[in-house]
Amino acid sequence: MIRYLTAGESHGPNLTGIVEGLPAGLKLTAEDISLHLARRQEGYGRGGRMAWEKDLVTFSSGLRFGKTMGSPISMSLANRAWAKDKANWPVTMSLKEVEGQDDVEKITLPRPGHADLVGVQKFRFDDIRPVIERSSARETAMRVACTAAARVFLKELGVEIGGHVVQLGENGYGSWEELREAADKHYVKDGAENLFRKADESEVRCLDEKLTEGMVEEIKRRRKEGSSLGGIYEIIVTGLPPGLGSYVHWDRKIDGLLAQALISTQAMKGVQIGLGFEAGHRDGRNVHDAITKDSAAPGGLGRETNRAGGIEGGMTTGQPLLIQGVMKPIPTMLDPLGTVDIVTGEATSTRYERSDVCALPRAVVVAECVIAPVLANAILEKTGGDSMDEIKERFIKLFEPIV
């Protein structure tokens, strides 16, 4: 089974990742990873660091002649901030004792909405810097690198992932039906990667040109106000067979595992599948999906609609997976909220740490990637196998008639 670990700080020398459990024989290149690392750095409303910090992954183990060997894969991403400010970060974030470390300014003003205050309370720091460095969204760069490897595995089996922004601040689709009309035409026939490529044409990753204009204008307005914005994104997965996950135990339900992957990502505050919360406003006939005969579907049975979002009873149905996530506005703002100095006890304004005005377009890419290991593990649990050849043979059989 696939698992991964990330290590590193936002302004340390580099980020490191280890991915274990990918089968042997999977073709994997730095370019496969860099595609999504570059996408993660794009989007209107990004902060200054995203404009110059270009992430290029380096492999140091687990590959031979461009293919996986079944052993752990290690990779790293250099933090250009470390090299860019050699008079600051190599001392501020030194891995060992260095001259001048006692003169490094301590950060004592916790930012509301961040991990700052609870982090120093948990670890009993007298300086917030260690909390800022590890809880930073910079960590998601390595998380994308690690999980993009699982995404390559899925693509080899014909499983594609794509995402787009459906709500940013006050701008968004008016209804579930309107959203489906806008999105469905981009992935039902051609796969979900076509959806993300279309969304990437928008500077806020929204499929609708008019909504894109409104979103950009709202970001500009909030920037002038010194505030920030969040919103809602949708992730879609195509090519999945029915029966991934399980109804027999709570910790094997695929929807629960997917929700965990998304909600564990920085700044995420909610997840819904299919109609999600809208289902609570409708009667049963307008929520559930009628089962019909469908010669093109596994087992010859399909569904008239996909309000369930491709999951029933903790298992995939074989329809496209539809998941939405909610991202809160970035807590760091030019017009700061109040805070209290953890050393002096003095009430004051929050310290400003360089930040985006709106990170939602970038968060879409992170969300696309972090669900990949969940789906890959569900497939591996179903098929078994240590090599890509074995897994491909068994995966095809999951689409055969089951009734």
pLDDT at 349: 87
- CA distances, 126 to each of 12, 109, 324, 337 (Å): 20, 11, 38, 21
Q: In the prediction, which pLDDT does 89 show?
A: 87
pLDDT score at 276: 94
Q: Residue 288 has what pLDDT? A: 96
Kindly list the distances between the CA atom of residue 250 and the CA atoms of 43, 235, 246, 256, 314, in Å, as whole numbers in the listed order.
37, 23, 8, 8, 8
Half-sphere exposure of 217 (CA within 13 A, CB side): 8
Phi first, then psi, for residue 102 (nearest 5°) are -75, -15
- Spatial contact of 321 and 309, defined as CB atoms under 8 Å apart: yes
Whether 82 contacts 88, CB under 8 Å:
no
**Cβ atoms 28, 152 nearer than 8 A:** yes
The pTM is what?
0.94
Q: Where are the domains of the chain?
A: 3-397
Residues 6+ apart with CB under 8 A from 256: 250, 314
How far is 347 from 353, CA to CA, in rounded Å?
Answer: 18
Pick the CATH number of 3-397 from 3.40.50.1100, 3.40.50.11290, 3.60.150.10, 3.30.70.100: 3.60.150.10
- Check: CB of residue 374 under 8 Å from CB of residue 254: yes
Name the DSSP class of 314.
T
Distances (CA, A) of 133 to 7, 125, 136, 288: 11, 13, 6, 45
- Grouped pLDDT means (10 residues each) for the chain, 403 residues: 96 95 97 94 70 80 97 94 75 89 92 95 96 94 97 98 97 96 93 96 96 96 92 97 96 97 96 96 94 82 93 96 96 86 93 78 97 98 96 91 58
